[in-house]
Chains A and B, each alone.
Chain A
Amino acid sequence: MPTEPTEPALDDTVPVGGNEVLMRRVLKRLVDFDRGKTPPLQAGAFLPNKRDNDGLSLNRQVTDHYKHFLTADGLKNWHEVPENIRVTCGVVAVLAEVARDIGLTVNPDPSTTPGHVLIQEINWNQYAGDATTDASRLKIEEWALQLAKRANVLIQPGKPPDPPTSTAA
């Protein structure tokens, strides 16, 4: 009987495990990274933007995927990210099981970036697009707040990330 993987997935054919860390790049202006609040993050970290048509875009924190995530703009590592981006962006992280616990789906979508995943329920169309209603928008705000409550800052703006915990391929 198939079970969820307990080790980090190494390719996008492996379903996202509940214990996998999911990352999202967030502008500093959407998250007050410096304040010790409860929840530590604000909902803005998990609200969709206009490019999140198919769902909230995140990446899996596993060896190769992690590197691809940080190099999505063709840059080799965080140190090579231009200063103006490093100081304006940080990375937040949440466990996949947190999303599933509140009724969200987490599915691989490697079509654009290896390790890319989508939470399809948190999408722009129902938040502020053609399909939005008061109810759909409020629901997305609820989910964003619930994710923020159990998320953490992985990379502070302006600081390099810690090296991945698993060995690089």
Chain B
Amino acid sequence: MFSRQWESARDEARDLDKYAPNWDGADADPVALGLVQVALKLFRRLETDGFPAPDLVYPAADGSVYVEWHHAGGFVQMVNLRPGRISLVLMRPDGTIDPQSSETPADVSLEEGDAACADGDSFEFALAA
């Protein structure tokens, strides 16, 4: 059902590797090495779990990657992927915010067994909420 949207999201993620240094005209870093692959791994896991494709995938000036889901009713999920770190900010329709940050779960990290963390389950739970 979501495969087309997921393919579009994967294309957007792959495009992030094309950003050269100073891509924003303000000395931005290129997307960190391997981070696109981390994003693609995360996408694969979420797609397998039946999660809808993200609405937006874009780079940040520090070389990290943002992924946003904008759900009906104003519920927003914003994930930031950095080397070894992943954070999540949830915005509820009433505007209240719930931020979380943890090491990148092992099954999303680049290297098997890298950065296994106790918070992985809670992160996954929050993302799927």
Q: Are B56 and A145 in contact (CB under 8 A)?
A: no
With a cutoff of 8 Å between Cβ atoms, the chain A residues found around residue B73 in the complex are 38
With a cutoff of 8 Å between Cβ atoms, the chain A residues found around residue B70 in the complex are 37-39
With a cutoff of 8 Å between Cβ atoms, the chain B residues found around residue A141 in the complex are 78, 80, 87, 89, 99
Q: Are B89 and A42 in contact (CB under 8 A)?
A: no
Interface stretch among A11-19, A46-54, A108-116? A46-54
Q: Are A49 and B26 in contact (CB under 8 A)?
A: yes
Q: Are B87 and A44 in contact (CB under 8 A)?
A: no
* Count of interface residues, chain A, beta-carbon cutoff 8 Å: 28
Q: Are A42 and B62 in contact (CB under 8 A)?
A: no
With a cutoff of 8 Å between Cβ atoms, the chain A residues found around residue B74 in the complex are 38-39, 149
Distance in angstroms from B45 CB to nearest chain A CB is 22
- What CA separation (Å) do A124 and B55 show in the bound complex? 26
Interface residues of B (CB under 8 A from A): 23-28, 55-56, 58-62, 64, 66, 68, 70, 73-74, 76, 78, 80, 85, 87, 89, 91, 95, 97, 99, 101
Interface residues of A (CB under 8 A from B): 27, 29-30, 32, 35, 37-39, 42-44, 47-51, 124, 127-128, 134, 137-139, 141-142, 145-146, 149
Task: With A38-B70, A138-B89 given, name 5 new contacts (CB 8 A).
Answer: A32-B56, A42-B56, A49-B26, A124-B61, A128-B62
